[in-house]
């Protein structure tokens, strides 16, 4: 397993890391984060690094609303989300 470096104050899309929140059953680091919408959420560090967790859930809810064109539509939207994550990480590295 590679070392995940996350620090308080770090942002992952809508989430801002507040503090370490222990570890889960598998020993993965958990972090208490504050979402831009104001909700507090505990997220796994690796999920934030990989882009799987980018909000308290409000982001997915918004995406689901825009992609509400049936079951097939939501599948395509998931793939587009993956591309977005990738370009976002590239932008971040270029700063």
Interface residue with Zn ion among 28, 37, 40, 61 (CB under 5 A) is: 37
If one asks whether residue 35 binds Zn ion (CB under 5 A), the answer comes out as: yes
Nearer to Zn ion, 48 or 56 (CB): 56
If one asks whether residue 15 binds Zn ion (CB under 5 A), the answer comes out as: no
Nearer to Zn ion, 41 or 90 (CB): 41
Q: Which long-range contacts (CB under 8 A, 24 or more apart) does 9-17 make?
A: 12/48, 12/49, 12/51, 12/53, 12/54, 13/51, 13/54, 13/55, 13/59, 13/88, 14/54, 14/55, 14/56, 14/58, 14/59, 15/41, 15/43, 15/48, 15/53, 15/54, 15/55, 15/56, 17/48
Nearer to Zn ion, 39 or 84 (CB): 39
Question: What residues make contact with Zn ion under the rule CB under 5 A?
Answer: 35, 37, 39, 55-56, 58
């Amino acid at each position: 397993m590679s070392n995940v470096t996350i620090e308080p104050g770090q942002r992952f899309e809508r989430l801002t890391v507040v503090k370490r929140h222990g570890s889960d059953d598998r020993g993965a680091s958990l972090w208490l984060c504050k979402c831009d919408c104001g909700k507090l959420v505990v997220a796994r560090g690796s999920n934030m690094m990989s882009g799987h967790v980018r909000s308290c859930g409000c982001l997915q809810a918004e995406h689901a609303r825009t992609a509400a064109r049936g079951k097939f539509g939501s599948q395509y939207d998931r793939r587009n989300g993956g591309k977005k994550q990738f370009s976002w990480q590239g932008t971040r590295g270029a700063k």
